[in-house]
Amino acid sequence: MATYAYRCPACGTFDQTRPMGEAPECVACPRCAASSPRQWTAPLLAQMNPALRSALAREEASRDVPEVVTRASGSARR
């Protein structure tokens, strides 16, 4: 589920949680029922688990500059 931001012309901003990719362009304001367009905001990556964010950053960096290793991870030297 993803959180989408909407802005009512009379009441201001509010959020709605919907399945990813299923957010309509406009929804009714929960307070006054006015048509409220969707706001485009940055993803909330700051709320992501730090270990997951670090792993995703390493994975993305490895696309262009792969890490060079001398042995398989987890293997012990003999």
For 36-48, what is each residue's pLDDT tens digit? 999 988 776 667 7
40-70 pLDDT, tens digit per residue, is 887 766 677 888 888 888 888 877 777 777 8
pLDDT of residue 38: 95
pLDDT of residue 1: 76
Q: How far is CA 39 from the centre of its chain?
A: 15
- Scan for tokens 């990556």, then name that residue: 45
Question: Residue 2 above 70 pLDDT?
Answer: yes
pLDDT of residue 16: 92
Q: Which residues pair with 27 in a beta bridge?
A: 36
**Cβ pair 5, 26 in contact under 8 A:** no
Q: How far is CA 54 from the centre of its chain?
A: 15
- Scan for tokens 């792969």, then name that residue: 66
What does DSSP say about strands 12-18 and 26-28: parallel, antiparallel, or unpaired?
unpaired
- Whether pTM > 0.75 for this model: the answer is no
